[in-house]
Homo-oligomer: A and B are copies of this chain.
Amino acid sequence: MRTAPISALLGTAFAFAIGGAPTLPGHAADPLPSWNDGKAKQSVLAFVAKVTTQGSPDLVPIAARIAVFDNDGTLWAEQPMYFQLAFALDRVKALAPQHLEWKDQEPYASLLKGDVKGALAGGERAMLGVIMSTHAGMTTEEFEKIVTDWVATAKHPVTKRPYTEMVYQPMLELLAYLRANGFKTYIVSGGGIEFMRPWTERVYGIPPEQVVGSSIKTAWAWRDGKPALMRLPDVNFIDDKAGMPVGIQQHIGRRPIAGFGNSDGDLQMLQWTTAGSGARFALLVHHTDAAREWAYDRASSIGRLDQALDEAQAKGWTVVDMKHDWKTIFPQ
């Protein structure tokens, strides 16, 4: 058991409030307190100063300060499986009583026995079926409620935390810092757009209209005398790899000046972001901290970081070494 003075436990904010603390200008003004001083933090601060300082040759008008963030592995964790997959598996269990045939049908039979590895053996096509049977067949508003309820109650299998507390504290600070400097922050993720929207405003401060993601088709329909949008079991758009710049153009209609990712799936988004004229910024989160989070890169089936890591090194993009660059990983 550790002991500490009350002021340390309560933090300097409280000490300031009661008027007893010495002034610590540099420390108090730090917009990224969970980032250790180092190349990664300095590169972020230098870029923001460059594009926002009046008289700077690299000054960017506020309307063009667009920053795009991947979600899985960049803003929240993605191990031991993508959180949306955990959601789909929970939905299979919840829906099983209405689908007695699943007991004898793969990959559902394996999933219902808790054998995720066996289920994944069916490959992408089998999992796409699982996604469709759990994400389609209801209205957009019904799906929003299902996601909201799940996010409020589901717990991560390893940490037992709610999934929305498995977000990276340093990235929350970065989002707030960019917005305080006139940036519009967007999520651009391979995850489902309607799986993210119900909670991104509360958790990240990113409203639904600034979320870009993969989607299934929807169709206009009348239900009980009211119009509804029905979710159909049919892929509409995959916002991954070369799809990311396509999704950015569809939704935003201008090229971002800063991009943040963590895997090869984000490479084209970073290439598109950095190929524009004027000051540009690209950052990769490298998962190097097996003790506090997970350590994985070139050989991982989830969030593989291989080609993008080579390109980051060749092009001088910022690479965050989670173990050394981040003081804390998750919010307290």
Contacts and interface: CB of A to CB of B under 8 A. Distances in A.
A201 interface: yes
Given A207-B253, A218-B246, A227-B271, 13 more contacts: A63-B207, A140-B249, A184-B209, A208-B254, A209-B252, A209-B254, A215-B250, A218-B249, A220-B243, A220-B268, A227-B272, A229-B249, A251-B251
A249 B184 CA distance: 20
A193 interface: yes
A279 to B, nearest CB: 17
A27 interface: no
Contact of A63 (B140, B201, B219, B245): B201
A271 B254 CA distance: 31
A242 interface: yes
Interface in A36-64: 63
A209 to B, nearest CB: 5
A226 interface: yes
A140 B253 CA distance: 10
A121 interface: no
A275 interface: yes
A312 to B, nearest CB: 16
A268 to B, nearest CB: 6
A257 to B, nearest CB: 14
Interface in A84-139: none
A286 interface: no
A287 interface: no
A271 B227 CA distance: 7
A210 to B, nearest CB: 8
Interface in A195-211: 197, 201, 207-209, 211
Contacts of A251: 209, 251
